[in-house]
A = this chain, B = another copy of it.
Amino acid sequence: MSSIDQVGIQIALTQARKSFNEGGIPIGCSLISVNGAILGAGHNQRIQKSSPTLHGEIAALEDAGRLKAGVYRDAMIYTTLSPCSMCTGAILLYKIPRVVIGENKTFSMGGEDLLRSHGVEVVVLDNEECKKLMAKFISEKPGEWNEDIGE
Contact = CB atoms under 8 A, between A and B. Distances in A.
27 contacts: A46-B66, A50-B65, A50-B66, A51-B62, A51-B66, A52-B61, A52-B62, A52-B64, A53-B53, A53-B62, A53-B90, A68-B147, A69-B146, A69-B147, A69-B150, A69-B151, A84-B89, A84-B93, A85-B89, A85-B90, A85-B93, A86-B90, A86-B92, A89-B89, A89-B90, A93-B149, A95-B150
A30 interface: no
A53 B61 contact: yes
A137 interface: no
A84 B95 CA distance: 12
A147 B61 contact: no
A83 B35 CA distance: 32
Interface of A: 46, 50-53, 58, 61-62, 64-69, 72, 84-90, 92-95, 109, 146-147, 149-151
A106 to B, nearest CB: 16
B50 A150 contact: no
B109 A93 contact: yes
Contacts of A93: 84-86, 109, 149-150
A99 B78 CA distance: 31
Nearest to A88: B89
Contacts of A94: 52, 150
Nearest to A92: B85
Contacts of A50: 65-66
